[in-house]
């Protein structure tokens, strides 16, 4: 895949970039290795000052970088501005809290004495150079939620971003340089996916994090595992959205629309499978389908647009194939199910709700990465939970109920990295984020995320004087 900015709204190639050659990749690896030697010994206050400065610069750049994201991957510009603002929030969150999150831990005194020590601590030390393989769908946020904690912990980063967002990737490198981080602390590598294995195997790279597809995760995890290197993976999701009898149907349906079509429907944590109790199915379906029909599809640069184009032509083709397979096997399109006739150029797809979906259809098991929802009717909570778990993914889940027994049951039995009640899944710097099953492993954000790429070092102190009996 070429490294280029291609406008998804028109299909026009706006700018192309040559990938780095082997000599330049080597230079950057050496620079990262040298930078880590210095950065790991800097103080938390120094890192905090630099990260806060980067946050200030990003805040100033909000409008400009939002336009870049919209041009590169089709995100509605108002959503792009919100993404940049969210990054600023996360950077400041880690700048203020990293020192406390990584403070020395003191085991219970009874355990210290039982170990034969006079005292013991656990100290978190940075691992080194971390390679980040990041996706195009949230081209700023996915990177910042890795970079902010990694840099505050004393690590340095190498970014291999998706090939269709090169200008956003280069902006991130420049942002950290302007903020005052030393050369090599954060670098963007404009390379193809074929170059990732060699970089990951380099002994100067300590670990890797990847957000992306299941095949990409398998590849990175396999390579890293072969070289015994730590990885964190955030892969696909097909999140369930359960609506139970006690739910506020008006709110649930309105939220369901946003939860399905956020980021043009191209989000791993977007709700995709809407599982509704028979008692409230008709009321929910009417409101949900009406809400999907009312969305404005159009130019992502317009403030009035709700849904822009999909990021690539291939992405739209993949989505069309899932929908066409379902329709051919008996599913019903309650709305959408085709390209919008109003957009002759660009990679648009109409907001779609499919009913009568069966396990024989690909979309029952595969992730639909676009504004397509599947709607299921269930008889009771047992059937709802079983259907929610009938997926290879386990990123997050949404449940609408006001019944305490329903809540406890869902917390206990839903196979997901998160359970969100009476709201939609969202990531926040103060809450751990990640999945189970084929959605990956490890956690980003919160204290869990900053400690993923740290060495939890046990420091044990024996008696300073020899045993008198010895």
Alpha-carbon distance of 195 to 24, in angstroms, equals 13
Task: Tell me the DSSP string of 83-118.
Answer: HHHHHHHHHHHHHHHHHHHTPPB---HHHHHHTT-S
| 259 within 8 A of 424, measured Cβ to Cβ | yes
Alpha-carbon distance of 310 to 9, in angstroms, equals 8
Task: Tell me the DSSP string of 122-185.
Answer: EEEEE--EEEEE--SSSTTHHHHHHHHHHHHHT-EEEEE--TT-HHHHHHHHHHHHHHTPPTTS
| 156 within 8 A of 129, measured Cβ to Cβ | yes
Alpha-carbon distance of 443 to 396, in angstroms, equals 13
Alpha-carbon distance of 69 to 140, in angstroms, equals 8
Residue 281 has a CB neighbour count (10 Å cut-off) of 18
Query: From the candidates 234, 366, 367, 444, which is the catalytic residue?
Result: 234
Alpha-carbon distance of 90 to 96, in angstroms, equals 10
Alpha-carbon distance of 260 to 371, in angstroms, equals 6
Cα-only R_g, the chain: 24
Burial of 382 (0-12, 13-18, 19+ CB in 10 A): exposed
Is residue 268 annotated as a catalytic residue, yes or no? yes
Whole-number Cα distances in Å, 69 to 149, 164, 183, 287, 342: 23, 10, 25, 32, 23
Q: Return the H-helix or E-strand segment holding 119.
A: strand 119-126
Q: Which pair of tokens denotes residue 421? A: 């009640």
Is residue 87 annotated as a catalytic residue, yes or no? no
What residue has token string 């009321």?
283
Q: Return the H-helix or E-strand segment holding 270.
A: none
Q: Which pair of tokens denotes residue 68? A: 């870049």
Query: From the candidates 268, 335, 410, 454, which is the catalytic residue?
Result: 268
| 439 within 8 A of 395, measured Cβ to Cβ | yes
Beta bridge partners, 126, equal: 454
| 151 within 8 A of 157, measured Cβ to Cβ | yes
| 340 within 8 A of 5, measured Cβ to Cβ | no
Catalytically active residues are 234, 268
């Amino acid at each position: 895949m070429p490294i280029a900015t291609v406008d998804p709204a028109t299909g026009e190639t706006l700018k192309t970039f040559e990938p780095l050659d082997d000599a330049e990749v080597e230079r950057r690896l050496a620079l990262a290795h040298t930078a880590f030697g210095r950065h790991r010994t800097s103080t938390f206050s120094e890192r905090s000052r630099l990260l806060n400065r980067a946050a200030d610069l990003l805040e100033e750049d909000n409008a400009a970088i939002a336009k870049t994201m919209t041009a590169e991957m089709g995100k509605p510009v108002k959503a792009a501005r919100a993404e940049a603002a969210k990054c600023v929030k996360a950077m400041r969150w880690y700048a203020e809290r990293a020192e406390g999150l990584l403070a020395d831990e003191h085991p219970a005194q009874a355990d210290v004495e039982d170990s034969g020590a006079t005292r013991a601590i656990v100290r978190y030390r940075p691992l080194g150079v971390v390679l980040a393989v990041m996706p195009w769908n949230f081209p700023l946020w996915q990177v910042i939620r890795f970079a902010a904690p990694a840099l505050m912990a004393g690590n340095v980063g190498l970014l291999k971003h998706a090939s269709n967002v090169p200008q956003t990737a280069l902006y991130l490198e420049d942002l950290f340089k302007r903020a005052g981080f030393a050369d090599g602390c954060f670098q963007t590598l404009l390379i193809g996916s074929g170059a990732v294995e060699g970089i990951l195997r380099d002994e100067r790279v300590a670990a890797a994090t990847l957000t992306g597809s299941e095949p990409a995760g398998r590849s990175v995890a396999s390579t890293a595992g072969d070289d015994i290197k730590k990885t964190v993976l955030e892969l696909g999701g097909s999140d369930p959205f359960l609506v139970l009898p006690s739910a506020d149907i008006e709110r649930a349906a309105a939220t369901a629309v946003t939860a399905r079509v956020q980021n043009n429907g191209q989000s791993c944590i977007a709700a995709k499978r809407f599982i509704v109790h028979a008692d409230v199915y008709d009321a929910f379906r009417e409101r949900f389908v009406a809400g999907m029909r009312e969305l404005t599809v159009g130019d992502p640069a317009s403030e009035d647009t709700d849904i822009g184009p999909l990021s690539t032509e291939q992405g739209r083709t993949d989505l069309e194939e899932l929908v066409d397979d379902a329709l051919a096997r008996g599913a019903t399109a309650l709305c959408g199910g085709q390209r919008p006739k109003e957009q002759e150029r660009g990679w648009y797809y109409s907001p779609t709700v499919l009913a009568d979906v069966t396990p024989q259809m690909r979309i029952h098991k595969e992730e639909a990465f676009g504004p397509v929802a599947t709607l299921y009717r269930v008889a009771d909570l047992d059937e709802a939970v079983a259907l929610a778990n009938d997926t290879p993914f386990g990123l997050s889940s949404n449940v609408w109920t006001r019944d305490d027994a329903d809540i406890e049951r869902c917390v206990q039995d839903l196979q997901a990295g998160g359970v969100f009640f009476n709201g939609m899944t969202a990531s926040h710097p103060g809450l751990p984020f990640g999945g189970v099953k084929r959605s990956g492993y490890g956690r980003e954000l919160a204290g869990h995320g900053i400690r993923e790429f740290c060495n939890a070092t046990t420091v044990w102190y024996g008696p300073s004087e020899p045993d008198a009996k010895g």
